[in-house]
Amino acid sequence: MPTMIRVLQAEDAALYRPLRLCALSEDPAAYLTSPEEFAARSLAEIAGQLAPTETAFTLGAFAGAQLVGMATLVRAGRLKLRHRADVMAVYVAPEVRGQGAATSLLGALIQQARQLPGLDVLGLNVTEPQLAARQLYLKLGFSVWGVQPDALRQAGEPLTELHMQLRL
């Protein structure tokens, strides 16, 4: 089944919440937010954060009516940083991995980013163990510009984070 990509709206919060919880629970080392922190958020709060703004939007990948993937773009708000945006909260459900959903999702995000006036750089951070994610980002043209040892800790264990960027 082909994947349909679209910008998520506040009304999609009920679809988004279980997928985000799945992402955070399945691979806690990949995200800054813990499953417990996210689970404590109300559906109204999630809807408010999901609503697209001038500086942020979340794309959803759908297989039929089911939300199977997500990726968020957050543009820097300060004037001297407006040329940059960060890619965050990328996840594709296990049942659709290897079928091109992640490539389609991030390709659409990059395409939309290129339409934003004055946006020149997309950045993202990925922990070292996230090999599949790193390979995808490299395939899409991102390059590593820095390495931060002990960037975050999962269950008390230090994780190294790679800083990557794509020049638009």
Is-contact 128 161, C-beta < 8 A? yes
**Percent of the chain topping pLDDT 90:** 90
| Chain segment 96-134, per-residue pLDDT in tens | 999 999 999 999 999 999 999 999 999 999 999 999 999
The predicted structure's pLDDT at residue 29: 83
The predicted structure's pLDDT at residue 2: 66
| Chain segment 20-32, per-residue pLDDT in tens | 999 999 988 889 8
Distance CA 17, CA 91 (A): 13
Fold of 3-167: Aminopeptidase (3.40.630)
pLDDT band at 3; cut points 50, 70, 90: confident
Mean pLDDT of the 6-12 span: 98
pLDDT band at 73; cut points 50, 70, 90: very high
Whether residue 63 is predicted with pLDDT greater than 60 in this model: the reply is yes
Tell me the CB-side half-sphere exposure of residue 74, using CA atoms within 13 A.
10
Is-contact 108 5, C-beta < 8 A? yes
Q: Map out the domains of the chain as residue ranges.
A: 3-167
Distance CA 1, CA 9 (A): 23
| Chain segment 89-101, per-residue pLDDT in tens | 999 999 999 999 9
